[in-house]
C-alpha cells in the first residue's frame, strides 16, 4: 500500500485492518464459495450481528445488502412510495434523492436551503408518504441533529422516514427508533472500497411494501418482499458481493472491539481540532454557518485558495477532498473517519500553517 494518507470523503482511506482481513479472505477462498453454502450463510449472519451491535439497531429492523447507497434511493422509491415523498435538501446528495423520486414519476416535493444555511421550515405536505433526510450531507458538511430528526418524527407519525447515514454511521450516534429505513455505502466511514450498500428496514416498511405489491410492481429481484424472503434465511436473492460482506463484518467487529463510544469520542476530538485550525487560518472559513450543524465526519472549509491547499498537501503525501459540484473550486473537504488517527489529524492542522 502507498504512503499516501487519504482524507477524501469517499472513497476514503482504507480501514487499517483492511489488508489483513483481505489476505485472510483470499486464503479462505471467500470470493469463490457458493452464496447458498452454509459457510456464506454464516458469514452473512455474523456481519448482520456485528452491524446490529455497532449501529445499536433496535429489534424489528432488518439489514439487506445492495450495490450502493444510490441503489437504496431507487429501492425506497419503488417499494415505499406510491404518489409522493418530501425531501429536506441542503446539498448535492439530498437533492439527488429528490431527483430520483421525480425520475420515478412521483409528485415529490422539497424544502431546500443553500449556502450552508440551516432549515427553519419543518412543515411536510400532508400527501407525502415518506420523508427523506440526510443525516450528514457529505457534499457541504451539514449534519442534522438527533433532536431535529426526533421532532420530525413526532410531527409526522403517519409517514415513513428514510435517513441517509452515508458518512455518518458508525461515527455519529443515530436513534434508529426515530426512522423507518436508513442506508449507507461502505467506502466512507467503514473504510472499504466502493461496491456495497447496506439498507436497514423496519417492519412498517415491510407492511407498506407487501400491501403495494398486491396491486403494483415494486421492481425486479430486489423488492422488499423478496429481500425479506431470502434475508430471513441469511441469504440474498442474487449472488452478492460476498468478499465485501465478509470484510464489512470483520471491520465492524474491529470497531466494536475498539469501543463504539471511544470511536465517537475520537471523532469529536478530531473534528474539534480541525475546526479550530480552520478558524485560526486567514484563508479558511466554515461553510456551514450553524456550529451545531457542522459535520464531524466531513469537515468543509470555504476558501479562495482551494487548489493551493490541495496541491500543498498532496506534495506532503496527504490527499484532501476537493469541493463538490458547484463548490469544487471554492471548498476543501477533510474526511474524519475511524481509520484516521488523531496524530494524522493533528499533523494536518500543523501543516495548514504552511499555506499562506
Residue 107 has pLDDT above 70, yes or no: yes
Domains 5-13+259-352 and 18-257 share a fold: no
Give per-residue pLDDT as tens, 206-249. 999 999 999 999 988 899 999 999 999 999 999 999 999 999 99
> Is-above-0.95 flag for pTM?
yes
Give per-residue pLDDT as tens, 260-299. 999 999 999 999 999 999 999 999 999 999 999 999 999 9
Give dist(CA 241, CA 197) in Å, integer: 10
Confidence at residue 1, expressed as pLDDT on a 0 to 100 scale: 53
Q: Residues 327-345: what's their mean pLDDT?
A: 97
Q: Residue 296 CB: number of other CB atoms within 10 A?
A: 21
Q: Residues 295-314: what's their mean pLDDT?
A: 97
Residue closest to 132 by CA, chosen among 168, 155, 175, 101: 101
Confidence at residue 175, expressed as pLDDT on a 0 to 100 scale: 98
Contact 256, 54 (CB under 8 A): yes
Confidence at residue 151, expressed as pLDDT on a 0 to 100 scale: 98
H helices of 128-241, where?
A: 146-155, 203-213, 224-231
Residue 2 has pLDDT above 80, yes or no: no
Give dist(CA 330, CA 225) in Å, integer: 45
- The CATH class that applies to domain 5-13+259-352 reads alpha beta
Residue closest to 139 by CA, chosen among 169, 116, 161: 116
CA distances from 135 to 59, 86, 193, 274 (A): 21, 15, 22, 20
Q: Residues 90-99: what's their mean pLDDT?
A: 97
Domain ranges of the chain: 5-13+259-352, 18-257
Which of 3.10.129.10, 3.40.605.10, 3.40.50.620, 3.40.640.10 would CATH assign to domain 18-257? 3.40.640.10
Give per-residue pLDDT as tens, 30-44. 999 999 999 999 999
Confidence at residue 96, expressed as pLDDT on a 0 to 100 scale: 98
How many secondary structure helices (H) and strands (E) does the chain include? 11, 14
Q: How confident is the model at residue 108 (pLDDT cuts 50, 70, 90)?
A: very high
Confidence at residue 356, expressed as pLDDT on a 0 to 100 scale: 83
Grid cell at residue 330: 471554492
Q: How confident is the model at residue 349 (pLDDT cuts 50, 70, 90)?
A: very high
Q: How many CA atoms lie within 13 A of 59 on its CB side?
A: 0
Q: Residues 176-193: what's their mean pLDDT?
A: 98
Give per-residue pLDDT as tens, 21-74. 999 999 999 999 999 999 999 999 999 999 999 999 999 999 999 999 999 999
Confidence at residue 3, expressed as pLDDT on a 0 to 100 scale: 84
Give dist(CA 142, CA 291) in Å, integer: 10
Q: How confident is the model at residue 335 (pLDDT cuts 50, 70, 90)?
A: very high
Centroid of chain to Cα 133: 12
Burial bucket for residue 275 (CB in 10 Å: 0-12, 13-18, 19+): middle
Give per-residue pLDDT as tens, 139-153. 999 999 999 999 999
Confidence at residue 220, expressed as pLDDT on a 0 to 100 scale: 85
Mean residue pLDDT of the chain comes to: 97
Q: Residues 294-308: what's their mean pLDDT?
A: 97
Amino acid at each position: 500500500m502507498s504512503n499516501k494518507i487519504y482524507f477524501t470523503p469517499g472513497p476514503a482511506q482504507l480501514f487499517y485492518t483492511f489488508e489483513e482481513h483481505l489476505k485472510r479472505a483470499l486464503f479462505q477462498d471467500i470470493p469463490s464459495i457458493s452464496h447458498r453454502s452454509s459457510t456464506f450463510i454464516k458469514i452473512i449472519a455474523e456481519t448482520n450481528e456485528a452491524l446490529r451491535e455497532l449501529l445499536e439497531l433496535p429489534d424489528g429492523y432488518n439489514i439487506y445488502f445492495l450495490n450502493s447507497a444510490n441503489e437504496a434511493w431507487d429501492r425506497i422509491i419503488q417499494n415505499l412510495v406510491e404518489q409522493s415523498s418530501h425531501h429536506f435538501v441542503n446539498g448535492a446528495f439530498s437533492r439527488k434523492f429528490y431527483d430520483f423520486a421525480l425520475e420515478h414519476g412521483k409528485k415529490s416535493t422539497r424544502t431546500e436551503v443553500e449556502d450552508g444555511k440551516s432549515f427553519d421550515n419543518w412543515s411536510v405536505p400532508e400527501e407525502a408518504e415518506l420523508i427523506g433526510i440526510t443525516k450528514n450531507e457529505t457534499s457541504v458538511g451539514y449534519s442534522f441533529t438527533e433532536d431535529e430528526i426526533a421532532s420530525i418524527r413526532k410531527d409526522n407519525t403517519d409517514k415513513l422516514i428514510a435517513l441517509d447515514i452515508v458518512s455518518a454511521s458508525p461515527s455519529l450516534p443515530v436513534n434508529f427508533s426515530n426512522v423507518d429505513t436508513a442506508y449507507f455505502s461502505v467506502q466512507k466511514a467503514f473504510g472499504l472500497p466502493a461496491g456495497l450498500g447496506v439498507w436497514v428496514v423496519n417492519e412498517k416498511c415491510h407492511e407498506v411494501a407487501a400491501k403495494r405489491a398486491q396491486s403494483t410492481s415494486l421492481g425486479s429481484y430486489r423488492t422488499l418482499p423478496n429481500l425479506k424472503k431470502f434475508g430471513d434465511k441469511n441469504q440474498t436473492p442474487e449472488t452478492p458481493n460476498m468478499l465485501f460482506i465478509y470484510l464489512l463484518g470483520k471491520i465492524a467487529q474491529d470497531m466494536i472491539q475498539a469501543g463504539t463510544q471511544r470511536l465517537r469520542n475520537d471523532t469529536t476530538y478530531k473534528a474539534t481540532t480541525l475546526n479550530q485550525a480552520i478558524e485560526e487560518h486567514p484563508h479558511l472559513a466554515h461553510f456551514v454557518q450553524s456550529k451545531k450543524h457542522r459535520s464531524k465526519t466531513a469537515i468543509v472549509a470555504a476558501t479562495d485558495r482551494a487548489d493551493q491547499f490541495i496541491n500543498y498537501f498532496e506534495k506532503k503525501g496527504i490527499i484532501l477532498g476537493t469541493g463538490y459540484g458547484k463548490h469544487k473550486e471554492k471548498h476543501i473537504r477533510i474526511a474524519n473517519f475511524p481509520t484516521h488517527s488523531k496524530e494524522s489529524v493533528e499533523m494536518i492542522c500543523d501543516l495548514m500553517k504552511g499555506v499562506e
